[in-house]
Amino acid sequence: MGYNTAMSCKNVFTLRWYACVLFLSPLAGCATLPLPRDPLAETQPAVETALPSTPAAESSPLVLVAGGDVLPGCFLDPLVQKEGHDYPYKKIAPYFQEADIGLVNLECPLTRRGRRFRNKKFTFRAQPDAAAALKRAGITAVSLGNNHIMDFGEQGLLDTLAALENAGLAYAGAGVNAAAARAPARLDLPRGRAALLSYSLTYPGEFWAASQKSGTALARLPQVEADVRSAAAWADLVIVCFHWGGELMHYPRAYQTEYGHAAIDAGADVVVGTHPHVLQGVEWYRRRLIFYSLGNLAFGGGKSRRATESALIKVVCTVAPKHLSAYVLPLNVDNMATAFVPAPKPGPDGAPVFQALAKYSEEWGTRLILDDSGWGELLPPETDAASTPLAPAETSP
């Protein structure tokens, strides 16, 4: 499918309720935190890493391909020891490799060291070598603001950051203090600049960074808004990741919508959610995009019967004038059926996932159009919105 080529409409899911029932069973869970709008704020500002300026963006668009939770350890350990660390990505790597930005949520530290966090039922980690495999698969950036990145303490986090930097992967959402955790990843690309911000809205609270403490970026709403406004001042594409919501829930909680809307009002272009391990709906809000949950991707944490279907998403961003298009590709992430290798389900094979995603998105009027490429295009409710340039975001003073 060409990025600038109109898609030939074969089927249109009009977001009715479908007789598509997923037979699901429990998954490892952790509580999520619906924070109040005005909690106590950190006084230390976010610190950005200065990078050289880039030329003006070319006329060709920026392309983002994103997937959900990645855990390249636990049940995957014996497989990668036998097959190599590239093993989980062999069927999805081509999709990331064709994009300017490949993004996933890294759901564990990459470390052989550290002290396991005891006050928690499930703790995860993977080998540092997994970072280079992510890069080879076309993944260029990871979100770290989640409820597992600190499972092996500060040492585990430091090893993770070193592994990511050595592999040339950008990251956001965790750091040596709150300012570092809030700092955006700055991606200077031939076609423009992108900013990645990542925040956690999940427990345990011991994982949240402070002014003198390493950890994850807690999503305090006034800080999120300030961080997004700052990034929007220089970036052509602003991506905000939230680790939020209820595990195995297909519909967002009210606070997810509040945070997603606030991020876009402040200048974000794309909001990407993770943590539920299953798909949630897609909302077009002010001609920007909120993917409430992308589900699992290469997740070695278990063999759940309730987290078996997922998706890759592709966002094509024309910089001047700003215009977004969005596409979705169903995935089979049933670890018992795929041996921990996410498998694309294009075309008719992906129909149940397309139908389910349409159902989850129904309340926002999002439309889904399929074509022969195997991807589905996600359209806003307005008939002509997909071809109308984006209006500048309204930002508070």
The lowest-confidence range among 104-108, 122-126, 389-393 is 389-393
The mean pLDDT value for 179-194 works out to 97
The residue with greater pLDDT, 397 or 394, is: 394
In the DSSP assignment, the letter for residue 205 is G
202 DSSP β-pair partners: 32
Residue 54 has pLDDT above 80, yes or no: no
Non-local (6+) Cβ contacts of 213 within 8 A are 177, 178
Give the H or E element holding residue 167: helix 153-167
Residue 36 has pLDDT above 60, yes or no: no
What is residue 33's predicted lDDT score, i.e. its pLDDT? 52
Question: What SS3 state is found at 40?
Answer: coil
The two three-digit tokens of residue 117, written as one number: 């966090």
In the DSSP assignment, the letter for residue 25 is -
Residue 52 has pLDDT above 90, yes or no: no
Per the listing, tokens 């920026």 go with: 62
What is residue 26's predicted lDDT score, i.e. its pLDDT? 33
Residue 278 has pLDDT above 90, yes or no: yes
Strands (E) located in 204-247: 215-216, 237-243
Q: What is the pLDDT of residues 287-344, one digit of tens each?
A: 999 999 999 999 998 877 888 999 999 999 999 899 999 999 999 999 999 999 999 9
Please provide the average confidence, as pLDDT, over all residues in the chain. Answer: 85
pTM: 0.85
What is residue 371's predicted lDDT score, i.e. its pLDDT? 75
221-232 and 254-265 helices, crossing angle to 10°? 30
| Contact of 369 with 377, CB cutoff 8 Å | yes
Q: What is the pLDDT of residues 87-108, one digit of tens each?
A: 999 999 999 999 999 999 999 9
Q: What is the pLDDT of residues 340-371, one digit of tens each?
A: 999 999 878 899 999 999 999 999 999 999 87
Provide the residue ranges of all domains of the chain, joining segments of one domain with +.
Answer: 58-345
Rg of the chain over all Cα atoms, to the nearest angstrom: 19
Q: What is the pLDDT of residues 251-270, one digit of tens each?
A: 999 999 999 999 999 999 99
Q: Longest Cα pair distance anywhere in the chain, in angstroms?
A: 56
The lowest-confidence range among 1-15, 160-174, 218-232, 353-367 is 1-15
Residue 34 has pLDDT above 50, yes or no: no
What is residue 59's predicted lDDT score, i.e. its pLDDT? 66
Domain 58-345 sits in CATH 3.30.70.120: no
Report whether the peptide linkage leading into residue 321 is cis, meaning its omega lies within 30 degrees of zero: yes
What is residue 389's predicted lDDT score, i.e. its pLDDT? 42
Give the H or E element holding residue 69: strand 62-71
